[in-house]
Amino acid sequence: MNLLEVIKDVFKPFLDGEKPPLHVGEVMNLWFFLAVSEQTIRGEQVAINTVQDEDLKKHLQELMDIHSEIRKDIIGFLQKEGVPLPETTPPKKQGDFESIPADAKLSDQEAAQLVSENLVVAMTMAARGITEAVRTDVGAMFAKFFMSKVTFGITYKAFLQKKGWLLVPPPFKIT
């Protein structure tokens, strides 16, 4: 069972026909999700240039591909609705930055943790977008974003565990 297909099938009957105007909360959630996605992509571009672990680089590339698709979806939607887009910084160039001292850049583990933190923020923002959307098409978009993050997060958590990078709080013991 493909969860994205299930969500699409649930929302499909509501996506046809005339749609009401976007409300200010929907615009803000989409606009902010796009702005944060743009900045997250920049961080991933920098991380790909500086991390040493090849598996982490593959995960970063996969996440950049996910974010590029999200970015494309939101930009197309906002432009169709006549909503101005947020200003962004230019993409970071690919390069070899081994000459940067290790203590002046994020370690592989720190970059991996930053990805985890960004996933939590994105899933929270997507869940908010789902619950605050009045228009079904907006809710469906946020559901798609949410599921793409959850799907990535499941495999990413296993990767972090394998590397010994998963931050786990100590066990709780009542004394």
Assigned fold of 3-8+21-90+104-163: Ferritin (1.20.1260)
Per-residue pLDDT of the chain (175 residues; tens, 9 = 90+): 677 776 666 666 556 677 889 999 999 999 999 999 999 999 999 999 899 999 999 999 999 999 999 999 999 999 999 999 999 988 888 777 777 787 888 899 999 999 999 999 999 999 999 999 999 999 999 999 999 999 999 999 999 999 999 999 999 988 7
Cα distances from 128 to residues 139, 142, 146, in angstroms, run: 10, 9, 10
The end-to-end CA distance of the chain, in Å, is 45
Map tokens 């720190």 to a residue: 110
Give the model's pLDDT for residue 63: 96
Give the model's pLDDT for residue 38: 94
CB 39 within 8 A of CB 128: no
Domain segments of the chain as ranges: 3-8+21-90+104-163
Give the model's pLDDT for residue 30: 98
pTM listed for this prediction: 0.84
How far apart are the C-alpha atoms of 3 and 151, rounded to whole Å?
10
Q: How many CA atoms lie within 13 A of 142 on its CB side?
A: 25
Give the model's pLDDT for residue 91: 87
